[in-house]
Amino acid sequence: MAGVALGSVGATSAVVENASAAQSVRGITFDRVLNAADFCDTTGQRDCSSAIESRLTDGTLIKFPKGTYKIANDIYPGGPSNVGLYSEEGAVFKIPSNQHVTVFLNKGGRNVLFEGIDIDQTADGAFGNMKILCRDNAQIRNVEVIGRAPNADERLDQHILADVYDSDGTSIIQNFKAAYGGYLGAYRNSAGGIQATPGHHGTLKIIDCHLEEMANNGIYATRNDGNIQVEGGIYRNNDVAQVRLMGPNSYVRDALIEIDMSKSNNPGTPRKMRGIWIETKQSKFSGTKNGAYIENCTIIVRDSPNSIEGVDLDETGGWLEVNDCYFVIDRNNTRAITAYRPEDKASNYPKAPRPWDLKVTNCSITGSAANRESIKIIGRPDSVIENTCIQQTNTDRDGVTVVNASDCFVGNSTINVDGQEVREVDTNVQTTSISTSGSCPLPGDSSNDSTSDSTDDSTDSTDSTDSSSGSVSDTASTLEVISTEDPSELTYEFTTSGEISKIFDDTRNSAEENNDDVSQNSDGTWSVQGYTGNGYGDSYAFEGELLEFSPATGPVKLVVDGQEVDPTTLDDSTDSTSGSTDSTTDSTSDSTDSTSDSTSDTTTTHEIVIDGEGRSELTNYEFTVSGSVEQTDDPGEDNVSDTTVVGAVGGGIDSFDYTGDITSFSIDGPAAVFVDEQEVDPTTLGGSSDSTGDSTDSSTDSTSDTASTVEVISTENPSELTYEFTATGEVTKILNDTRNSAEENNDDISQNSDGTWSVQGYTGNGYGDSYTVKGELTEFSPATGPVKLVVDGQEVDPATLGDDGSSQTVETVSKLTIDGMGTDELAHYRFSVSGTVKQIDDPGEDNVNNQKVRGATRRGIDEFEFTGQITSFAIKGPARVYLDDTVVDPDTLG
């Protein structure tokens, strides 16, 4: 083997590094292979980050023997290609206390490998992540994050940021496990799982991963035009969403999606949990995208303080196909699927282009949830529910509700519910061959094998969860782990010298198909991590000897071949078999009840939900509480100031946690209000003011004699016309059933902060909308196209509206982007404009005060929309600046 002397850095004072000849790993050819033990301390006492970084040049693979490697600083070699960090023996990167470290950042390379190295962030305040922002063929495989991400004083990134820059490139994340997650409820101040940023244009495959209890999404991949393909894996109890994506070549397939906080020991409280969230942030990238697939998944919603639904097809989401999936929905007021009305979320989050239909086929929906319905579809024409079985017989539960959506079909299905099988609101639904009795298959039934191969965390032993595994001989022993108290929760682990398989016999002590983890260890032994309780148990068959079991005491009985065994008699100790063992509550039996009703001496937390129920009409609301209040759906969307909230909701849901009492509440639209999951009359809350309908009734008393009539008419057939206009006084709809009548649900009227009123509307095919307008009509768009604007019977040229009649009053909106380029060094900036400015990436993150902005970014992107000119600009730090998506020299601004 050829060797090259590369110097002496690391554990000893004089080390000769031997670089072996070229080698291929995972299809990547490396020119040289280095042994990390030649230049790193393998006991974790001395920092190895700079020694690794300096050697990661093009064509270099560094192999890490078994050991612990202290990583105290970011490893950022730039963008080399054909580079890798690799361990066959089980190396660990150890993050020191109170350090936030990127253990590997590659920006712009190709053929990049990170495999077999775990990241230990168990030290107080420690956090480690990876950023693989490559052109093509990055591979992250067989990596576990050990320990929970902290609740930090600053924003933390996801555990993995992964982009594929080339549109025809593909990267893979496989067998990545981070089951300790982050601090639930901390959101951006604790970690998420995997994220693709606006730089992602290719295909990212996420295969057989296990992400649990993340504070900021399990997978967050909606801000790009690339493909996200999730295959297999476990996504459980992640805040905001388990998986969040969209795209015509994007999908979630063969995965377990679960919300069940009875399986969690997380110290935090989640803000709002969804299963799979189909949405897009179109303003984050060029062009548009649409569609997604959910196939052969098991989606469970059981115990959660504030979950929304199993599948959330967002207002910005396009078409969606859900095929061959099992849903178990036990939480009251929670739907299996909600398909919200397509509409823009402010100017920066436009809805996806057509089509917008939802198709659900060959699915089963069961569970004990009461109230609402199993599936709700709002404003999505041509949607189809077919060959699907719904069995939800608890009180006031409907099957399928369709609202204002034409040409929809529900048929060839079983819908066994307490309420209506199909409820139609402002539409007619074609129905045929609907059976109203009968049972539906449950997850794990022989008719479907959706998750049997995707829930085993071991790399190669995908059949280890099969109770009839051919490698278990007739001499195998039977082991039962039984909880002895009710109520109780029991997390257990054990190790054997031979293979373990689960026993599925539908008894009280049957193992769980998807919830208990069986894996083979590197030394040939086998281990189980399981969870049960409430007097139930789990059963296994195993070869060889039972070596270790924990806990040794507690509400547990261990039975081997029918004989009770004292766990303390096993081996030399009763400790867990591995310091890196995942102690999260990975699973529970279906019948295990939650025992985490953590009522304490502290002030009780309540939840209030304002539900737009899919309407396009905007509802404004304001309320005050006597204690504290915090938004839990998407923090920052509405204005929360001390104890008062001022907000608005369209077709979606706004939710808040609060303490104390609601002291005042007002609402001016048709949204429903829920307090602690019970619908309430808004007028009963804190001396409420409920003016629902005042702004939409054409006969409103506030319309003065000087009001004008405004008609917006589309002039072509076929055509589609989206329009906006602003007036100095109040605007109300004219609902008169004529060809130009306004729409009750489709056109939005809102009052602006400056007292003006605005309308966002939609019409077409020669039809129009009519309004009563007080004051003056000041702006209208579009100025051209298939549109005619008529005021008090006289046609008006939209271009004449404005200050002097010579031009349109709508100012040009520009976009300013400050890109941290994935580096960890903070870039501070400040600027001012002559017009208006607002943040559009995550409003509230940086300081926007009238016409001035002061902010900072280190890894991500800050974006602002402004009118007028940039009058001053200053930046300090490594960031790139874009004006209207074009790179500019910051010195030329202002």
For residues 421 and 394, give the distance between their C-alpha atoms in angstroms, rounded to a whole number: 13
Q: Are the C-beta atoms of 766 and 715 separated by less than 8 Å? A: yes
Residue 799 in 3-state DSSP?
helix
Asked whether the predicted pLDDT for residue 452 surpasses 60, the reply is: no
For residues 277 and 226, give the distance between their C-alpha atoms in angstroms, rounded to a whole number: 17
72 Rama sector, left if φ>0, alpha if ψ -120 to 50, beta otherwise: alpha
Asked whether the predicted pLDDT for residue 802 surpasses 70, the reply is: no
For 673, half-sphere exposure in the C-beta direction (CA atoms, 13 angstrom radius) is: 24
Asked whether the predicted pLDDT for residue 505 surpasses 80, the reply is: no
Residue count of the chain: 894
The mean per-residue pLDDT over the stretch 47-64 comes to 97
pLDDT level of residue 283 (50, 70, 90 thresholds): low
Looking at residue 459, its pLDDT comes to 36
Measured CA angle at 585 (ends 334, 547), to 5 deg: 150
For 172-217, how does the pLDDT look when each residue is reduced to its tens digit (9 = 90+)? Answer: 999 999 999 999 998 888 999 999 988 899 999 999 999 999 999 9
Residue type, 606: H
Q: Which two tokens stand for residue 187?
A: 């959101």
For residues 843 and 348, give the distance between their C-alpha atoms in angstroms, rounded to a whole number: 11
pLDDT level of residue 751 (50, 70, 90 thresholds): confident
Asked whether the predicted pLDDT for residue 580 surpasses 50, the reply is: no
State how far the alpha carbon of 388 is from the alpha carbons of 5, 446, 776, in Å. Answer: 67, 17, 53
For 589-614, how does the pLDDT look when each residue is reduced to its tens digit (9 = 90+)? Answer: 333 333 333 333 346 888 898 887 76
State how far the alpha carbon of 840 is from the alpha carbons of 1, 636, 865, in Å. Answer: 57, 11, 7
Looking at residue 520, its pLDDT comes to 87
Looking at residue 611, its pLDDT comes to 83
Q: What is the pTM of this model?
A: 0.58
Pairing mode of beta strands 32-35, 23-25: unpaired
Neighbour tally for 616: CB within 10 Å: 24
728 Rama sector, left if φ>0, alpha if ψ -120 to 50, beta otherwise: alpha
Q: Are the C-beta atoms of 429 and 402 separated by less than 8 Å? A: yes
Asked whether the predicted pLDDT for residue 679 surpasses 70, the reply is: yes
pLDDT level of residue 521 (50, 70, 90 thresholds): confident
The mean per-residue pLDDT over the stretch 18-47 comes to 94
Q: Which two tokens stand for residue 384?
A: 């189809």
Residue 529 in 3-state DSSP?
strand
- Strands, DSSP E only, in 701-776? 708-714, 720-727, 731-733, 748-751, 757-764, 768-773
pLDDT level of residue 489 (50, 70, 90 thresholds): confident
Q: Which two tokens stand for residue 566?
A: 């004292």
**Does residue 116 or residue 522 have the better pLDDT?**
116
Burial degree of 718 (CB within 10 A; 0-12, 13-18, 19+) = exposed
For 5, half-sphere exposure in the C-beta direction (CA atoms, 13 angstrom radius) is: 5
Residue 864 neighbours by CB under 8 Å, 6+ apart:
815, 816, 817, 837, 838, 839, 840, 848, 853
Cis peptide before 487 (omega within 30 of 0): yes
**Does residue 476 or residue 847 have the better pLDDT?**
476
Average pLDDT of the chain is 83
Asked whether the predicted pLDDT for residue 821 surpasses 90, the reply is: no
Asked whether the predicted pLDDT for residue 841 surpasses 80, the reply is: no
Alpha helices in 607-680 (DSSP H): none
pLDDT level of residue 293 (50, 70, 90 thresholds): very high
Measured CA angle at 850 (ends 848, 856), to 5 deg: 20
Burial degree of 784 (CB within 10 A; 0-12, 13-18, 19+) = exposed
For 609-662, how does the pLDDT look when each residue is reduced to its tens digit (9 = 90+)? Answer: 888 776 656 688 889 998 888 887 665 456 777 888 888 776 677 888 888 999
pLDDT level of residue 742 (50, 70, 90 thresholds): confident
The mean per-residue pLDDT over the stretch 763-767 comes to 82
For residues 453 and 253, give the distance between their C-alpha atoms in angstroms, rounded to a whole number: 12
User: What percent of the chain is modeled with pLDDT above 70?
Assistant: 82
Q: Which two tokens stand for residue 301?
A: 């919603």
Looking at residue 409, its pLDDT comes to 98
Residue 438 neighbours by CB under 8 Å, 6+ apart:
389, 391, 414, 416
pLDDT level of residue 310 (50, 70, 90 thresholds): very high
pLDDT level of residue 14 (50, 70, 90 thresholds): very low
Asked whether the predicted pLDDT for residue 697 surpasses 50, the reply is: no
For 96-112, how does the pLDDT look when each residue is reduced to its tens digit (9 = 90+)? Answer: 999 999 999 999 999 99
For residues 349 and 320, give the distance between their C-alpha atoms in angstroms, rounded to a whole number: 19
Asked whether the predicted pLDDT for residue 404 surpasses 60, the reply is: yes
